[in-house]
Structure 1
Amino acid sequence: MDVGDGPLLKFAADLRSLRDRAGGYSYRQLGARAHYSATTLSDAAGGRKLPTLAVTLAYVRACEGDVAEWEDRWRQVAAEVLPNPDPDPDEGHPPYAGLAAYGTEDAEWFFGRDHLLDDLEKRIARRRFVAVFGASGAGKSSLLRAGLVPRVTGRVVVTSPSETAEPDLDADLMIVDQFEEVFTLWPDADRRTAYVDALLAARCKVVIGVRADFYGHCAQHPALVEALTDGQLLLGPMGPEELRQVIMQPAVKASCTVETALVSRLVADATGQAGVLPLVSHALLETWRRRRGTTLTLAGYEAAGGIQHAIAQTAERTYTSLERHQRALARQVFLRLTALGDGTEDTKRRLPRAELDHDVDVDVVLDRLAHARLLTLDRDSVEIAHEALIRSWPRLRGWLAEDRDGLRTMRRLTEAAATWESLGRDPDALYRGTRLDAAVEWTQRDGVRTSAQERDFLAESLQARDRERLLAHRRTRRLRQLVALLAVLLMLAGTAVVLAITAQKEAAAGWKSSAAWYVANQSQALRSSDPQLADQLAIEAHYLNPNDETRNGVLSARATDERDMADRAAFASAQALADPDRERETVPRVLGPADETVTSIAVNGAGQAFATTVVDGVGKVWDVTDAATEVTHTFAGLVELVAFDPARGRTLVAVSDRGAVSVWDWSDPARPVEAARLADQPRPVVGVVYGPDGEVVVTYDVMGEVRLWDVSEPARPALLVELDLARDITAAALSHDRRTLALGTAKGEVRLYDVTDRSKPAELWSGKAHRGAVQALAFHPSGDALATVGTQDTVALWDVSDPRRPAQRGRINGLTEGVYAVGFGDTATNVETSKSNGTRRSWEFDFDKAVREMCDGVTTHITREEWQQYVGAVGALEYHRPCG
């Protein structure tokens, strides 16, 4: 292929060169790293069409390339090969309104709020005064102007306080949009009261639209409170179906079509996001201008920058328009609205309004940022409109990178001040010691601005410290006097001694907590250079202050010691399970070419072991019972996924690149037969997992639809259960008694379902288990334990004896990249993971056993000098060996 034929071919050739420089991974290996299929990545570098931005960046990350550089490259190529985004003066009425609200003239383009409009009409029919509350950007103005007005017969007047100071009451229905301007524009309380009273006394019906964060302001008017009783409609975020109408119906009306991939992407980006509707509309308008013929494409959406870049451009423009001192306030607001990630991306956090000062400049900054759709304000809180702002706005990324330790100090101070306030300003909740010193030092840095609550908290902490020092001085002086009068005042002296001992014990407890934290940090710092010493320090930290955090630290240290050595292949692990007396192999067995990777493993009742591999879409099954491995079957077509019966090796399920799911009868491995195909799948299947007994198969597709199939009779598979979760499912596991189904999502959630009643599966529990996606799940045969593996280098063990209230038994940090399966070893506390390169790894959650194994591996105990350096530095602790 001539790379000079065009920008698209040059782009594809450079992608292939990047793969070569990264080590020449096969596309199957690249797929395991990028979490995309080999076919998708191969097409991306083929040069036939421009891949999506998401696929391109996943390809680059897998090859360890410069993501920012390649994102710029992609946008340059997209600008050349995709349609021109400049508006055509003859193109007609755009089907989307962009960042502006829909007006009465746009009623024919307004969709997605029919059920809310029906509700609103019923309320207006029953009551004379109705209020519509919603966050900034939730669509209040569009609902009232483009949705309600066309439905009303008679004279309708639409106004706002900024348009006229006196409402026009000569109408059948008066709509007052942006009612919060009564409070933001008019400082005169009498003027506000007169306006509100005029509305309440009007003979016509009145509907007001109010931003949710001004709900408390409305409560300041008793007559308005009475009028709002049972007369309120709360406008929340749109659901998936409403968003689909917003996306597709205007395009249909404009004789255009929308790619299914674009609909799915926008629904995923916007579902559950308050205040995101103007950003969706703006992104759709820019995508429509980049349409291919009459089709709105995902490529056009990404070329326009999508929601993310629209937010970033607006943010920079709004920030630079503020006055200098207001910019400093805006910086503090955004820093407080961001939760720093620990090994993950930074995320947004909901900020209580009380955390910010109540002054004019703060209100102006919040109002400007909310008007620009950057923030969402409701009655009691503030939050960033979309997390894409954190990822896409360079200025905010720079602020977050300047002093992350200082930001963590600020977050801890904020939380401590809020706790102190919630406890009625309890003196016991004040800062003391090093935490107080660190917080005071941070407040003295340039550009730091604290809230009134934080300033009060620190001032009280400093005063309390001064009082305690004075009290300590007085106690010392009094103790000297008591010693002089010891012969006379023996009972009083005894009381003083008891008080001193109690205070000393309390101080010792606080000191041990700080000492344990310090020793644990020293252990982490020495992990790479002196692992044996690091192990002993981790154990000592737990002895100093036994709690879940130090316990998990010891378990993680144990897991770090057991490096990812290829002690045996995954299929050799299965042979060992079939024959416990078999000597363990210490190196993985090679299957054919070097880039073959194991995807599943099973042992049948006769003790035969089988492994399956998929490379470049070609699936193979290997007999690995003996030392000489051989291929027993190669599939004729392209295969995306293969799963093997884990119990008896009697059936195999394969997913083709076209999405067809086949069940193979594997009773005779020498002559496998395609027994049947599962019912047509409406969407591509992205995961297939066997139940422990090999008679049930779980499949899930790209839209989160999960199905359970009975394959006990391979020729007649039957659908048992169907769940439509509308989530990005990444892992599944079925309990041994078939009663409980566990599902993992791309957002790190684990969900448990009772599937006993096949017609009505019931959700038992859902919760956040990992910061990144869940990549593997497994139940213990007893059903009382569940192991979960996350992409963010974490393995967790859960007690699910009561599946409605799971409890975490432990969490271990360690390398989990490439893990495709998880199971249990000899005990319910020993978890084993298998990787696609054929290696296995053990994770021990039994604390006492982990300590014994760590100490057994210690050949050099901590010396007195090391003790003094790493433990004695925090206080006079007597030297001893943590490992005896």
Structure 2
Amino acid sequence: MPRGERPLDVGDGPLLKFAADLRSLRDRAGRQSYRQMGARAHYSATTLSDAAGGRKLPTLAVTLAYVRACEGDVAEWEDRWRQVAAEVLPGHEPGPDGGHPPYAGLAAYDTADAEWFFGRDDLLDDLERRIAQRRFVAVFGASGAGKSSLLRAGLVPRVRGRAAVTTPSELDVRADRLDLDAELLIVDQFEEVFTLCPDPDQRAAFIDALLTAPGRVVVGVRADFYGHCAQHPDLVEAISDGQLLLGPMGPEELRQVIMQPAVKASCTVETALVSRLVADATGQAGVLPLVSHALLETWRRRRGTTLTLAGYEAAGGIQHAIAQTAERTFTSLEKQQRELARQVFLRLTALGDGTEDTKRRLPRAELDADVDLDVVLDRLAHARLLTLDRDCVEIAHEALIRSWPRLRGWLAEDRDGLRTMRRLTEAAATWESLGRDPDALYRGSRLDNALDWTRREDVRASALEREFLDESARARDQERLLAHRRTRRLRQLVALMAVLLLCATGAGVYAIRAQSEIEEGWTSSSSLYVANQAQALRGSNPRLADQLAIAAYNINGTAAMRDGVLTAYAAGQQDMVSRSSFPDGRRPDGAALPDNRVPTPATGEYRSVTARDYPNLQVTSTAQNSALQAFATTLRNGVAQVWDVTDAIAPKPVYTFGFPVTRIAVDPRGRWVVTAAKGDPSRTGEVAVWDWSYPTPGTGLVQRASLDPLDQPDPLDGMAFSAPGDVLATYDQAGIVRLWDLKEPVRPRNPDEPRLRLIGTQPTGEAVSAVALTPDASTLAVGFPSGKVRIWDRRRQLAPRELWSAKAHPDGIRALGFHRNGLTLATVGEDDKVALWSLADRTRPVEQGRITGTTAGINGVSFEEEPTVVRTTNSNGTFRDWQFDFRIAVDEMCKKVEVDISREEWQQYVASVGVGALEYRPPCR
């Protein structure tokens, strides 16, 4: 038997069982000698023999080298090693002096932790100089770059005089609560002004108070909210030359962060651990909380006073330490406590809209009083996953959102449901703050959506939210009852007027007029009541709901009733995936397969494919070329890919960009790919145009041109193509729309740096959220976060003429699109509505319909052949068609009706509310 091995009893313990299994793995691999294994694993034979000896746990690196030499499953053995390490390596033990841990874990270093804060001396010197020269300074950095620690533990102890540190959430984004008398006012987590304050006036007042404060002001801002800051001109001016960008730490700074706190705590750090940590963390933005947490867990597993590499690996390292701690803490809870923890984490996360998900400061009042909840919060806070104070709860750091797979899974399961929860929470809080004003209650589709959400098994609404919904439902029922009574009174009044008409023929003219007005009111209120009944039955009886919606229109054929029918039809549709090909890759000659259909190989039949069958990609654009291939572009963690989604069941990535792309778009004909990237020295400009005329797996893109930085000085917020793909429209953070010629993309200037030719510039004076061009690029439509849409005639490029400007939606514009006839425009708003406009007179667009439906995630608009079918693409890789042809919608709804509305149902929902003059007439017969 080789040196270092001894017979082991499997029952001797986890370490001996682990060693026995390593030897069994070697036996199954042919029992090669340790010398042969060493040559393959690049470790000495003695090291590998000791790994299987059972005297001590080998390091993770040695274990995996052993497994690779025996051709074992590396991932499986890594999990085995971590399980054994958690059992046999030193666990949580008191420090040598029983004192303060030298590392903060996920939490930021606060002013009281200044003595433990190291590694940012040069940056603090720079920041002090800037504060001395400027009255307003902004510190930008990625989440996890250490902004809070820099300001609280670094800057505050250095400044002389009175300094005040706060966050917008602590002040409820109220300008009157700012400490404007402080010589230095530090506002940390400034991005909360945008994530937590929906009122633009309140937000502007808060920013203005900071800009006009008598003392000096420093704000800490997450870097991905730079564009939000650019929406405020005075703020842009204040920070234009007063901003400090906090980048990743260099190797020497990381060594100080690792070693100096340990030295102060009378501990030592293994050289191998320092080298490993520096290698794992150097150059990575947002890695500091991961480093601090991994070090804290390593300190808890130290041997004596030494922090070891084995302890670091047992803690899970940078990549797994947070997830390991979170998972261990979560699984230690009782079943009902785990569900409470899930609800808490969902409420503690603010979903991003074009940005990463962020943490949210949660008022304790939003959580019900519960003994189990107190236990959950205490456990999570003890594990440094949450921070608690008297009134609020928040996630210790956003790194937890990125690094814990279970939490990421919760957030991805039902983002629309989470948005419903967030809106409900805000609405209930507003209702409470207004003294439970009835006008602040939910009505219509918002109430129905919220009630449907609360009926789910995995949903737990707060006591205030339940009271808000109960009161909203009571108010709705009361309104329906009043409408019923009003209708009955109107009928009685009509009868009385008829009697008076017989008694006083001289008053006939007046009676006829009165009767006409009464009948109009009667008809209006009756149709509204029937429409409300249809909406209330939508979730439980869609067959009856469809027929009632059509009946409401038949009673009173107004535009609102028409839109109600279109909305009812849209509610019965499903999200779909891209066109699909046959499994063998061949398409029918000269024709595409029907949308949302793929062939079933066994029978040759088709089956529907919905979003549930499709990978949840964060799609930034979609396109289809003349060869009937469908493509999607995705963006995740700065990595951009182009996918061939012609086969919707098995989409294939066909190109990956090797630099940090922030925006990407494909033209409708599939020839041009445009990327916007953070400055990359290997690229000729930040915005590049790539030729991809015949994309197939493995074929690379060819860069054809880029945008001249002199012509495009500001970062882009978005891009759009004309339908033929020969004109590119871009809009930037300065609110300027530019048009670029793609027919001849290379403009001679420098042969090594070809540029696109700029053919038009349209300043708007405000932030832009969407643009669209007619196929001939003669008309430009621009949408704005205010809900306004403006249209320009660009046939005279040097003197464009504004044709129309109006508020098309009450909330921001998500997307715009023209039909190829150039006479029809579709607009998508954040108010969950899609509208269709006729541009027969471009100076007076006429609304053709407005459909209510979820618009979250929509990033593009196009049309089918008919100008009445609007197609929207979503960031989850799906699309949806919105039918605006009223007759088609009614016909399709009636095709699905298997049983007509019964006489009893007609009497209950139609005749009994005052329209008994209408005989029983099923709407679909």
User: What TM-score, normalized by structure 1, do the two folds share?
Assistant: 0.49
User: What TM-score, normalized by structure 2, do the two folds share?
Assistant: 0.47
Q: Higher relative contact order at CA 8 Å, sep ≥6: structure 1 or structure 2?
A: 1
